[in-house]
Structure 1
C-alpha cells in the first residue's frame, strides 16, 4: 500500500478535515440556499470547500482544482484535484447517514488517487491506480487497511443481481427495476459494491466530482465502469459500476430501454 506517498496522504488528510468539519454542522440545521438547478447548498458545504481549497493551495499551489460549489479553479495544470465537499447534501440536511466527502487526484487526465468517506460510519474507501482499492476505519493507520475485491458474478443472471442506483425523475430505468433485485437505499451504494453487498450501481445524471473516486475504486477493485458508449466518461449522462459478469447484461438492458 502506498501509505508513504505524499499525494495519497494528502488525499486522506483532505477527507479527514472535511469529515470533521461537516460533523460539526451535522444535525444542527445549517443555513441553506438553492442553486439554479434546485439543489441545495448549505453553509456546511461552503465551509468544508473553503477549508479544502486552503489546504490544496498551501500544499499543492501549482495544481488545478475542480469542486462542486466553485467549479474549475487555478491555471491549466497536468494535475487536478476533484473535490465534492459534502456528497449527499440532501441526506446530510435531513440528518441521515448517506453522505460524505469525495476526493480524487487526476494527473494528465488519468485518475491516480481516490478517497470516499462516510463519516457517520467512520469508514473510508480509497484507491491508488495500479495498487488496488482498500477500506479503512477512521483513526487507524493506512497500513491496517483491508484490500477490496469485487466478487465476480459470471454465472449470475441479471434477475438475481442486487442493483441500486441514483436515478432522475421519470428515469427510463424505473419501469424495468423489477427485472433485477433493486436496492432502494444505502449509506453508500458504491461501498456496497466494493464489499460484495450489491452487484451493480446505476448512476444517472451524476457529475465528475460525484463519480471520480468511485470510478477509480471500482476499477482498482476489479469491477467494470461503463458510460454506455463503450467508454467510462465521467461527464456522460449514464455511468454503470458493476461486477464482471453482470455489466454486459445490465448495460444491454439500459440500451434497450433508451438510456
Structure 2
C-alpha cells in the first residue's frame, strides 16, 4: 500500500488543481494548438505549474510525467503521473466533463490515484491493496464511500459500453453489437458507480489512463490492453466488469483492434 502521506498529497494536488482550473472556467482562457493538434490553454499550463511546484518542494527526489511538460526529473523508483486538466476540450467549451488526474507509481506499479471532477465536487481515488473510494466535500479523505464494480449479469448485446474512439476505428462497425452509451461527466466513474459495464479507450496516454486503471482494479474490475496485459502506453485499454470483459475483448480482437 502507498504511504498515507502520499495519498494525502495526491488528494491535495487534485484539489488545488481543481480550484485553480475553476478560476479559469467559463472565461475563455488563451489557447493554442500543440503539435498533435490538440488544444492547450493558459489554464492547463497554470495548473501544471502549480502542481509541479508542490512536488518539487515536497517530493524533490521523485520523477514526474505530466501531459504538458512530459518526463521531468532524474530516474527514480517513484514517479508522479499528472494530467492537470483532463478534458481540455470540454473545459474550454464550458462543459462539465473535465478534471484532474493524479497517480503515483513506485517501482513500475501504480500505488495511489485520484481522479476528480471539480464541477461536481467529486473525487474517485484508490490505493493499491487498499480499495477504491468516492469522496465528496470535506477534507482529503472525508466522506469516503467504498466502490465495488458489480459483475455484469447481461450479455454483451445489452451491456452498457462507452469509450473514446479514433476516426476510422475498427470498433465503429461493431458498436451496434452492444449498447453504446455517452458519458455523464466521466466514463470511468460511470463504470465504478454501476452506470456502465465497460469502457473502451483507443489512443489514450499514460496520464489519461493511470488513475482509472488503479481505480478499476481496486474496485474489482478488469483492465486489459488486448495483448494479454494491462500496459498503459499501448493503443488500446479496456476497463470492464467481470461477466462482460471476456466477450468484449474477444469481439474487439475479432474486429481487428
State the TM-score, normalizing by the size of structure 2: 0.98
Cα-to-partner distance string for 1:201-223 (whole Å, 9 max, x where unaligned): 00000000000000000000000
Give yes or no for the alignment of 1:173 onto 2:189.
no
Cα-to-partner distance string for 1:86-112 (whole Å, 9 max, x where unaligned): 000000000000000000000000000
Match of 1:210 in 2: 208
Match of 1:191 in 2: 189
CA RMSD, Structure 1 to Structure 2 (Å):
1.2
> How far does residue 140 in structure 1 lie from its aligned partner after superposition?
4.6
> How far does residue 137 in structure 1 lie from its aligned partner after superposition?
0.1
Give yes or no for the alignment of 1:92 onto 2:91.
yes
**Which 4+ residue blocks in structure 1 deviate beyond 4 angstroms?**
none
Kindly report which structure 2 residues correspond to 1:1-259, keeping only aligned pairs within 5 A, or say none. 5-140=4-139, 142-153=141-152, 155-259=153-257
Structure 1 distance, partners of 2:137, 2:124, is: 10
In structure 1, runs of 5+ residues without a counterpart are none
SS at 1:150 equivalent: coil
Tell me the number of residue pairs that the alignment of Structure 1 and Structure 2 aligns: 257
Structure 1 distance, partners of 2:22, 2:247, is: 40
Structure 1 distance, partners of 2:30, 2:142, is: 39
Structure 2 distance, partners of 1:254, 1:138, is: 39
Structure 1 distance, partners of 2:244, 2:36, is: 33
Structure 1 distance, partners of 2:139, 2:188, is: 22
Mean CA deviation greater in 78-87 or 132-141: 132-141
In structure 2, runs of 5+ residues without a counterpart are none
SS at 1:142 equivalent: coil
